[in-house]
Chains A and B, each alone.
Chain A
Amino acid sequence: MSAVSEAPAAATADARKAGDWLLIATAILLCVWVLLPIYLLIVNALSSPDEVTAFPKRFFPSFDFGSLSFFINFAGVARALWNSVLVATLTMVLAIGFGAPAGYALSRFDFPGKGTFRFLVLMTRAFPLPLLALPLAVMFIRTGLDDTAIGLALVHTTLALPFAVLITFSLFSGIPVELEEAAWTLGCTRWQAFRKVILPLALPGIAASAVFAFTISWNEVFAAAVLTIENRTLTAFLLQSLGESPLYLKFAGGAALVVPALIFIFAVRKYLFAMWGIANR
């Protein structure tokens, strides 16, 4: 272990250079590993149905929109897309609406029961939450929430809420309480101080966690497939038509799922690490 030899300076420099090249090569290789499969899906989505089912395949898209227009005009797809957007938007609103006040309370107050609440939020992590859609299916039939966008959004909110709480908690913790106190001394009420001082500072972060909540709902498959029948989301639609749908429909559908996700992740990239780092402490 202690065989660290005193190498000549030139050799060390060489070794360092080789190390740099290795580092860059590894980075590029890993990027290719992530990007290549997505590229291949996009190639399929941007080829005509005949090309998708042809063999051998071309590794470049022909920019024929046949597959995509077939997908968009396929019975039920437009509605499924709309449902996905609707459910994800509702999830976003619910998760932030319930989560942000809780995050603010955790960051600004010390009170009995704080630990219990944090434990409740963290506990949701240890459970495969989509499974809870099974018992809820019955409850929803009783309450008339079955097969509705809001019913599914409520289940998706269970997935997104813990993130919203922990992310807004860290956001508000990062804003000095002194700013708020200054506003109070200048005659602001608690609410005014929050709205005029804290909210503008926290807004970009809140927006990022809203996008995150949207993405969680947009991508969720199991609960969506369990809870919707007529009003299927895009994931539920694709899952349930896997057996019978032609390849080009699957690939166009996959691309329709992936492309918005790429944009979302790009939009929140600045917050991604802060969010995951904090949310999992």
Chain B
Amino acid sequence: MHGKALPYLLLMPATLFLCIFFLYPFALVAFEAVTRDGAFTLDNFRSMAGSWKFPVTVRNTLLLAAIVVPIQLVMALLMASVVSRLETGRSAALYVFAIPLGISDLAAGLIWLAIFDQLGFLNTLLSSLGVVDKPIMFLGYQSKLTIFIAVALAEIWRATAIMMVILVAGMGLIPKEYYEAAEVFGASPWQRFLRITLPLLRPSLQTAIILRVILAFEVFAVVAALGGTNLPVLMGETYNWQFTLQDRNVAAASALLILAISIGFTLFFLRVLRVPKEARI
């Protein structure tokens, strides 16, 4: 076997696979979104946007991302800082913080259902403290705010780990000398964090934020487990168009909208948090 052909031969299965199962369906979904019965049309987008649920759906999804992601960023930074400064129990703490990484979004929804359900642990706690005299219905159709809070908490609980892991890996790359130098000049831990960690962590921050924002627009099973249809989100509505309403062209349009929002935000964060080549470590 010749050296020239070998790398291409090795790459071929993965490349072919990605072409068939990534690029092709992507083209297909774009095509289905702008056609109906073979003719070009924008009706699918009109049906999607014309649904009375659509504005609420978009608002819920964006609002959820806008609230959840910043909180997660702060918590992930906190977790990563704690881990990098711990001397004993470091690996145990890392493992515990990373656990939600392996937990399905559906399972996360069910976990928080155990807490927020009318017969759940939060009501038990509240009634044993005497705050309420009978269990409150947190997740009923009339309590949109508490559903929203429950979903936000479940999302924060579930997906902070993904950012934390990226940030821990990034912090490991920052040379220790910088911190030693800063300490010599009398910088406080807070100043060191602000002036050294944050700027040098920018590439990792960028990756973590992009990855997390994309996942935030994909929120689906957590909402399904906690809110049912009481808190419509984009991914859930896409699912509804496909199954309940049996209209895959509108479902494709809805999918394309999620893709467009995701790509838009990816480009935005790539630009805003751009790291010049010379500034990389």
Which chain A residues have a beta carbon within 8 Å of chain B's beta carbons?
Answer: 1, 4, 19, 23-24, 26-27, 30-31, 33-35, 37-38, 40-41, 43-44, 52-57, 59, 94, 97-99, 101-102, 104-106, 108-109, 111, 113-114, 117, 120-121, 124-132, 134-139, 154-155, 157-158, 161, 165, 190, 215, 218-222, 225-226, 235, 238-239, 242-243, 247, 250-251, 253-254, 257-258, 261-262, 264-266, 269, 272-274, 276-278, 280-281
Contacts and interface: CB of A to CB of B under 8 A. Distances in A.
A238 B221 CA distance: 10
Interface stretch (B42-50, B52-60, B65-73, B119-127): B119-127
Contact of B169 (A23, A138, A261, A276): A276
Contacts of A276: 162, 165-166, 169
Binding site secondary structure of chain B:
helix
A4 B75 CA distance: 28
Contacts of A158: 17-18, 21-22
Interface residues of B, number: 100
Contact of A128 (B78, B166, B258): B258
A139 B99 contact: no
B21 A132 contact: yes
A138 B248 CA distance: 9
B157 A37 contact: yes
Contacts of A41: 107, 110-111, 114
A114 B238 CA distance: 36
Contact of B21 (A105, A155, A247, A258): A155
A14 to B, nearest CB: 15
Nearest to A260: B102
Identify the interface centre among B107, B128, B259: most chain A CB within 10 Å of its CB: B107
Given A26-B82, A128-B259, A113 B8 contact: yes
A139 B220 CA distance: 24
B187 interface: yes
A137 B251 CA distance: 12
Contacts of B117: 247
B186 to A, nearest CB: 4
Identify the interface centre among A54, A117, A221, A278: most chain B CB within 10 Å of its CB: A221
25 contacts: A31-B96, A35-B99, A37-B115, A37-B157, A38-B111, A40-B114, A56-B128, A57-B124, A101-B10, A105-B10, A108-B7, A111-B8, A126-B266, A128-B214, A132-B21, A132-B25, A222-B239, A225-B239, A235-B106, A247-B119, A250-B113, A258-B104, A265-B101, A277-B168, A280-B211
B217 A109 contact: no
B235 to A, nearest CB: 7
A155 B21 CA distance: 7
B102 A134 contact: no
Interface of B: 1, 3-4, 6-8, 10-11, 13-15, 17-18, 21-22, 25-26, 28-29, 32, 75, 78-79, 82-83, 85-86, 89, 91, 93-107, 110-115, 117, 119-121, 123-124, 127-128, 135, 157, 162, 165-166, 168-170, 172, 186-189, 191, 203-204, 207-208, 210-211, 214, 217-218, 220-221, 224-225, 228, 235, 238-239, 242-243, 248, 251-252, 255, 258-259, 262-263, 266
Contacts of B242: 134, 137, 226
Contact of A238 (B29, B106, B228): B106
Contacts of B6: 105, 109, 190
A43 B121 CA distance: 10
A124 B110 contact: no
B104 A257 contact: yes
B189 A57 contact: no
Contacts of B32: 134-135
A265 B99 contact: yes
A90 to B, nearest CB: 13
Contact of A272 (B7, B85, B101): B101
B228 A257 contact: no
A56 B17 CA distance: 53
A131 B121 contact: no
Identify the interface centre among B75, B127, B218: most chain A CB within 10 Å of its CB: B218
A261 B79 contact: no
Identify the interface centre among B1, B99, B114: most chain A CB within 10 Å of its CB: B114
